[in-house]
Amino acid sequence: MPAPAHGPSTAPDAAELTARTRKLLDEHPPTTTPRLDFLRARFDAGLAWVHYPEGLGGLGAPRSLQAVVDAELAAAGAPDNDPRRIGIGLGMAAPTVLQYGSEDVKRRFLKPLWTGEEVWCQLFSEPGAGSDLAALGTRAVREGDSWVVDGQKVWTSSAHTARWAILIARTDPDLPKHRGITYFICDMTDPGVEVRPLRQITGEAEFNEVFLTGVRIPDAHRLGEVGDGWRVAQTTLMNERVSIGGGRLPREGGMIGKLAETWRARPELRTHELHQRLLDLWVDAEVARLTGERLRQQLVAGQPGPEGSAMKLGFARLNQEISGLEVELLGEEGLLYEDWTMVRPELVDFTGRDAGYRYLRAKGNSIEGGTSEVLLNIVAERVLGLPPEPRNDKDVPWKELAR
């Protein structure tokens, strides 16, 4: 069962948060305080995630009041925690650790996760279980107070820079595939962990395949009950889809901004037909942006739901159509890609690269964070209430499934 949350008896309001933030700035001036020291002090002051419990980077305040803190810190020129670099930790690992971790686990992992001292990755997908994640075959066998894990994971972004990983593995092959899974925190420095780069269509190797051979995980690093990993993983997946498709953007932020910038700068490339398509995509992007704002308001009141799947679907479609139109607008020039090299980036850069890079990298948007086909099923069943697709493996033990 999830560990009980705890916090102050009275949640602070906007005025109190403003006062706390100014006190932090007075005691740790951003101009003279080392960046990491400032971030640690911010976490300890409860101003990292204000809606998290006291002592875990928050104060039990409404999530909506985070904007009050962020505005004060930005105005003072305070450093942030480079959220893009540690997005997997912030968007996926932290909510799961908070909901299902023991007190010791939460206090051990949340602070260095938020400050960026420890990068996280996600060991979910497998070569034979990508879209059908519940069919995974990586095994975890109990040995005393530890679990020994053997298997292979794939498409693991940032595994080459990660210190920790969230991992799901099969602990009971005699149960149906959704019920014999357990959720763990895996040490990426364990000698049994091997990370190999996967070169993708952009020439980069931002993600990897990961081989696990006799990896030992203490039972204390298990999140949730044994065999309840699928339910725990849903917390991760719902937060992942929100973090991928529901990020806050200004008007003309993201990919549509780059296309509009190219359009304004290159009048000689314009045609009436391309103009109409640009207008359609601009409207779609603005609708998606405003929908994301509404989704974030819903998050203030609770956990993310299937709406995040719809947002991620729209994000993938828009990125692919926008980048495709930009390449079409630029013609042969749009196919150029200046830095076609084998590099190991820490994060993906959609807007600071060539149009050709954006076009190629956007193809992955319909796969990462759940394929568009899977997300369409989620929206159909959980949002629209349509009947589920027939399944013949629901009650069959995993070990008896054809693979």
Would you call 240 a catalytic residue per the annotation?
yes
Mean pLDDT of 18-31: 98
The answer as to whether 155 is a domain residue is no
pLDDT in the model for residue 225: 97
102: left (phi over 0), alpha (psi -120 to 50) or beta: beta
Mean pLDDT of 286-315: 74
Q: Which residues pair with 187 in a beta bridge?
A: 164
Q: How confident is the model at residue 313 (pLDDT cuts 50, 70, 90)?
A: confident
Beta-carbon count within 10 A of 179 CB: 17
Q: How confident is the model at residue 283 (pLDDT cuts 50, 70, 90)?
A: very high
Beta-carbon count within 10 A of 347 CB: 15
The answer as to whether 86 is a domain residue is no
Q: Tell me phi and psi for residue 307, to 5 degrees.
A: -60, -30
Query: What residue spans of 157-222 are helical by DSSP H?
Result: none
Q: 35-44 vs 14-27: helix axis angle to the nearest 10?
A: 140
Q: How many domains does the chain have?
A: 2
* Residue whose token pair is 């409860």: 46
* Catalytic residue (choose from 126, 240, 307, 326): 240
Average pLDDT, the chain: 89
Residue 4 clears pLDDT 50, i.e. is over it: no
In angstroms, the CA 123 to CA 314 distance is 25
In angstroms, the CA 78 to CA 69 distance is 11
The answer as to whether 363 is a domain residue is yes
Least confident stretch, 95-109, 149-163, 358-372 = 358-372
Mean pLDDT of 67-82: 96
Mean pLDDT of 359-387: 85
pLDDT in the model for residue 8: 44
Residue 74 clears pLDDT 60, i.e. is over it: yes
The answer as to whether 213 is a domain residue is no
Residue 7 clears pLDDT 50, i.e. is over it: no
pLDDT in the model for residue 304: 58
pLDDT tens digits for 202-241?
888 888 999 999 999 999 999 999 999 999 998 888 776 5
Find the length of the chain: 403
The answer as to whether 336 is a domain residue is yes
Residue 5 clears pLDDT 50, i.e. is over it: no
pLDDT in the model for residue 299: 62
**Residues spanned by the domain of 1:** 1-80
Q: How confident is the model at residue 340 (pLDDT cuts 50, 70, 90)?
A: low
The answer as to whether 69 is a domain residue is yes
Residue 128 clears pLDDT 90, i.e. is over it: no
Name the CA dihedral angle for 62, 68, 70, 74, rounded to a multiple of 10 degrees. 180
Residue 353 clears pLDDT 60, i.e. is over it: yes
Domain boundary pick from 80, 107, 127: 80
208: enclosing H helix or E strand: strand 207-218
Q: Which residue has the higher pLDDT, 300 or 16?
A: 16
Sign for the pseudo-dihedral over CA of 18, 34, 187, 221: negative
pLDDT in the model for residue 212: 98
Mean pLDDT of 313-331: 93
Q: How confident is the model at residue 374 (pLDDT cuts 50, 70, 90)?
A: confident
Domain boundary pick from 80, 95, 123: 80
Domain boundary pick from 16, 45, 80: 80
148: enclosing H helix or E strand: strand 146-157
Which CATH number belongs to the domain containing residue 345 in this structure?
1.20.140.10
pLDDT in the model for residue 311: 80
SS3 359: helix
Distances (CA, A) of 12 to 45, 71, 120, 298: 13, 17, 31, 20
